[in-house]
Structures are given as structure tokens and as C-alpha cells.
Amino acid sequence: MKTRVDKVIVLWTANTEQYLLPEIDTVAELHKMVLKNQSLPSSVLYCIAAIEEQVLYLNGSPQNTFHKAIVEYAREKKSFIAGSDFKSGQTRFKTIMSDYLIGSGLRLSSVVSYNHLGNNDGKNLSEDKCF
């Protein structure tokens, strides 16, 4: 697919997930966890895949995705990772994207979002394993 497009961006905006503790300190430790199929949050797995494919990964959720090892791995692979929690700034994000799209010559017919806390986020946040 990458050969048929100019740029690929992974924009992670999934629901709240369990924090991964303890911190992953080294790239070797990160690879070992993947090879042993240890429990890693989905945001970390997608971030690793984006780094390996050298595509931009934007984290739009409040996960602790960017462990020391992830940041170091991105540096090693010369891959770009950025972002933190678009959900708490949803209105601002929609405003920025609307301005961008209109400025690009696209016409918006609607901008729609939904309440994340109404989609089990509140329940998830009350779990001990989460925040």
C-alpha cells in the first residue's frame, strides 16, 4: 500500500487502555517483550509497527505509549512519533482540522463526534488496572 501513496500517517485515537507498568527502558527489552508475546497495549504495538514501516505515528489518546524504549527505537529507525491525547481537546482538534480542510479547498458538510465517556471510558477509568 505504501508504494501507491505519497505518505502514510497512523493516527491513534482509540479508547483508553491499561497503562503498561513498569516503564520499558531499552529497545532490547521492548523486542524481547514482543518476541515473548507479552501483554503490550495495542497503542504500543501499532507504534512499533509504524516505526518499523517508517511512517508517522500520531498518538491522539491518553495512553503511556511513548516509553523510553519506544522513543529510542524511533530514533534508531529515523521514524517520527508525536502527540498526546486529542480526546481531551476534541473541540480544538476539530476546529484546527476544519480550518485545514477548508483551506485545502475541501467543503465540509458536517463535523461529528461522540462522547467517549459514554462509550465505556468512564467504566474503564474506574478499573484498578487503568489510570
From first to last of the 131 residues of the chain, give the pLDDT tens digit.
567 888 888 988 876 676 666 788 999 999 999 999 887 888 899 999 999 999 999 988 777 788 899 999 999 999 999 987 665 556 667 778 888 889 999 888 877 766 555 556 566 666 666 55
Range of the domain at 31: 2-126
Please state, in angstroms and rounded to a whole number, the distance separating the CA atoms of residues 58 and 51: 11
* CATH number of the domain enclosing 64: 3.40.50.720
Tally the domains of the chain. Answer: 1
User: Does residue 131 fall inside a structural domain?
Assistant: no
Please state, in angstroms and rounded to a whole number, the distance separating the CA atoms of residues 46 and 83: 14
* Entry pTM: 0.67
Number of H helices, E strands in the chain: 5, 3
